[in-house]
């Protein structure tokens, strides 16, 4: 079937967020090629129709090729498009959000990414600043009523680490009691090792983190838990 219209370019961009120095950071790389050589930008790439089985596949292939990363949390954000966002012509960018624990980024060569605070984003190529802002809004909103911040932590974490993660996402410090109340965590349950949060998805493991203070139980989360109401 012959088509009279010109097809737009289609790419997938990934807003890769991590937690470093007590703040939410976005991973940016410096573009080598036209357009905007030398500019900071999100990792991304064109859809490969002969290779990709889905948009998520394309996002994962792009990250894998550029960084070796395979994020546990990857979510479609929104699609940005139009005649003005790329000087090469009408283009469509399907934007994804990835959450990656900072520990996993240690395997990525240090020349690949620069990390910037999401609240102080430099000028970026294309409409990538808009994508970062939309991603941060989505992550903060969703974190206010779910266990999303768990995906910024390694597979097992203490409740104190989880508290610091929520604090970093929202840029707000709270007492331990306030934190536990917001998540519906009951101290007694922590001791028995039952699922302790209101949404029932924080799972106590038999492992402990040892340190200067008394051993802290390690928890994990296998699926995203939704709270009945925004708690943050």
User: What's the token pair of residue 118?
Assistant: 């999401």
Determine if 90 is a binding residue for a second copy (CB under 8 A): yes
Backbone angles phi, psi at 2, to 5 degrees: -80, 135
Token pair for 8: 């737009």
From the list 21-29, 88-96, 98-106, 217-225, the region that binds a second copy by CB under 8 A is: 88-96
d(CA 147, CA 162): 9
Instruction: Please list the helix, strand and coil fractions of the chain in percent, rounded to the nearest 5, in that order.
Output: 30, 30, 45
Binds a second copy (CB under 8 A): choice among 19, 27, 47, 148: 47
What minimum distance in Å lies between the beta carbon of 136 and a second copy? 18
Does 82 bind a second copy (CB under 8 A)? Our answer is yes
Residue from the set 21, 34, 120, 206 that interacts with a second copy by CB under 8 A: 34
Site for a second copy in 3-32 (CB under 8 A): 3, 5-10
92 binds a second copy (CB under 8 A): yes
Residue range at the interface with a second copy (CB under 8 A); choices 77-85, 127-135, 147-155, 193-201: 77-85
CA distance 217 to 139: 26
Q: How far is the CB of 197 from a second copy (least distance, A)?
A: 18
Stretch that binds a second copy, among 44-52, 60-68, 153-161, 215-223 (CB under 8 A): 44-52
Is 177 an interacting residue with respect to a second copy (CB under 8 A)? no
Determine the number of helices (DSSP H) and then strands (DSSP E) in the chain.
6, 9
Q: HSE of 136 in the Cβ direction (CA atoms, 13 Å)?
A: 23
DSSP state of 59: H
Whole-angstrom Cα distance, residue 10 to residue 28? 20
CB of 8 to a second copy, least distance (A): 5
Q: Least distance to a second copy from the beta carbon of 172, Å?
A: 18
> Which pair of structure tokens corresponds to residue 103?
């520990």
CA terminus-to-terminus distance, the chain: 53
Judged by the rule CB under 8 A, the positions of this chain that interact with a second copy are 1, 3, 5-10, 34, 46-50, 52-55, 76, 78-79, 81-83, 88-90, 92, 94, 229-230
């Amino acid at each position: 079937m012959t088509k009279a219209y010109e097809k737009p370019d289609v790419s997938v961009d990934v807003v890769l967020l991590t937690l470093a120095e007590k703040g939410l950071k976005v991973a940016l790389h410096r573009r080598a090629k036209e357009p905007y050589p030398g500019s900071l930008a999100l990792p991304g790439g064109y859809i490969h129709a002969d290779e990709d089985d889905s948009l998520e596949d394309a996002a994962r292939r792009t990250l894998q090729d550029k960084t070796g990363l395979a994020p546990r949390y990857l979510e479609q954000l929104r699609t940005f498009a139009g005649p003005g966002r790329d000087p090469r012509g009408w283009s469509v960018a399907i934007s994804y959000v990835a959450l990656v624990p900072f520990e996993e980024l240690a395997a990525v060569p240090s020349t690949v990414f620069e990390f910037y605070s999401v609240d102080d984003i430099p000028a970026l190529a294309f409409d990538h600043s808009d994508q970062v802002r939309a991603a941060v809004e989505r992550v903060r909103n969703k974190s206010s009523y779910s266990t999303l911040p768990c995906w910024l932590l390694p597979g097992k974490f203490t409740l104190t680490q989880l508290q610091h993660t929520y604090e970093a996402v929202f840029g707000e410090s709270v007492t331990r009691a306030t934190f536990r109340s917001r998540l519906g965590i009951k101290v007694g349950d922590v001791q028995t090792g039952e699922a302790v949060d209101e949404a029932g998805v924080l799972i106590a493991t038999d492992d402990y983190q040892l340190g200067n203070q008394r051993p802290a139980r390690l928890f994990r989360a296998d699926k995203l838990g939704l709270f009945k109401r925004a708690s943050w």
